[in-house]
Structure 1
Amino acid sequence: MKEQFLLLLETHQGLIQKVCNMYCNTKQDQEDLFQDIVLQLWRAYPTFRGGAKVTTWMYRIALNTAITRLRKETQGEPFAELGPEAFQVPAVEEGSREERAAMYRAIRRLSQVDQALTLLYLEDCSYREMGEVLGISEANVGFKLNRIKAQLRTLMSIA
């Protein structure tokens, strides 16, 4: 069981790192959150039955761990801030570097759940997978994504 879990981590560590980059400002916070997520994955691994894709299961645990940690944070600088490094943007993407930076600034202004949904959308997850990860219906995913897109358009026009 341990070997299977370690192989799973090795194969999908990029997924965990993206969540850490999305919700953490500093390298230290990213490393701490990475460890927290791995611990939660290890605790949940014996109960994983394969009913969902392994990546869906991992995203759900990673995002829930990050959001829970965020909510526990006390006063001071916010734990969660989306930086440009949160998403690996393909070189073929259209738009200038400034436009991308403006988009990331707009995404940072979304709620934590909306940031998570945006991450899953940018990862080309299906509505079904997004719903499974976040515990909402496919219809609600579509509704939320439409609202997020409208919010981002507004935030981008203000910037």
Structure 2
Amino acid sequence: MDKELEHNFVALLEEHQNIVHKVCRLYTNHREAHNDLFQEITIQLWKAYPKFRGDAKFSTWMYRVGLNTAITLYRKSKRTINTYELETFQFKIKAEDYDDTEEQQLKLLYDAVRQLNDIEKALVFLYLEDKDYREISETLGISEVNARVKMNRIKNKLKTILNP
């Protein structure tokens, strides 16, 4: 591959890398797994980049590749034995004046979202990224109406999970 293609890819990846981090955060629980998934998504993006035609925005295409990679790896990982990192069991001491309400609410939301199926997770992720239903439908390859219906069902499902 030529240097210009590589330069353009690196520039676009640097500009939009938060998308990949957010996908990783949604599908992983530990830093090591996050880093591994980030690397795998980056590899898949690089492999697919020469075929990127620009029909959609780069960020939309990046969401699609990232989510598909994460879903594929997530499904494979369900067939393996779960292990826990030692850092999970370390004590975390917070300053007394620190209000972690928002952090706790965000953690509860992520925990609830992790209980959803793969497509539902992707839809919630894009919704929380303030993507409109047209862009969500393009990214996930479903109709706009289907995206709206699914999102309403997911909202109800999350309410049930969060408020049993």
TM range (shorter): 0.7 to 0.9
- 1:100, distance to aligned residue in structure 2 (A): 3.7
**Contact 2:27-2:114 at 8 Å conserved across structures:** no
> Quick one: distance in 2 between partners of 1:101 and 1:46?
37
**Corresponding letter in the other structure for 1:37:** I
Post-superposition, which runs of at least 4 consecutive aligned residues in structure 1 deviate over 6 A?
none
- 1:105, distance to aligned residue in structure 2 (A): 2.6
> CA RMSD, aligned part only?
1.5
Mark the CA change 1:4 to 1:76 in structure 2 (over 3 Å): closer, same or farther.
Answer: same
> Quick one: distance in 2 between partners of 1:28 and 1:16?
15
Q: Which runs of 5+ in 1 are unaligned?
A: 79-95
Partner of 1:86: none
Helix, strand or coil at the partner of 2:19:
helix
**Contact 2:71-2:118 at 8 Å conserved across structures:** yes
> Quick one: distance in 2 between partners of 1:141 and 1:108?
19
Partner of 1:121: 127
Partner of 2:80: 75
**Contact 2:44-2:69 at 8 Å conserved across structures:** yes
- What TM-score do the two structures reach when normalised by structure 1? 0.83
Note if 1:8 corresponds to 2:44.
no
> Quick one: distance in 2 between partners of 1:62 and 1:101?
22
Note if 1:18 corresponds to 2:22.
yes
Q: How does 1:23-102 map to 2 (within 5 A)?
A: 23-73=27-77, 74-77=79-82, 96-97=101-102, 98-102=104-108
- What TM-score do the two structures reach when normalised by structure 2? 0.81
Q: How does 1:137-148 map to 2 (within 5 A)?
A: 137-148=143-154
Percent of pairs with identical residues: 48
- 1:106, distance to aligned residue in structure 2 (A): 1.9
> Quick one: distance in 2 between partners of 1:101 and 1:42?
31
Q: Mean alpha-carbon deviation: is it higher for 96-105 or for 8-17? A: 96-105
- 1:108, distance to aligned residue in structure 2 (A): 2.0
> Quick one: distance in 2 between partners of 1:38 and 1:144?
29
Partner of 2:96: none
Q: Mean alpha-carbon deviation: is it higher for 28-37 or for 54-63? A: 28-37
- 1:12-38 CA-to-partner distances (Å, cap 9, x unmatched) read 111101111111111111111111111
- 1:101, distance to aligned residue in structure 2 (A): 3.6
**Corresponding letter in the other structure for 2:138:** E
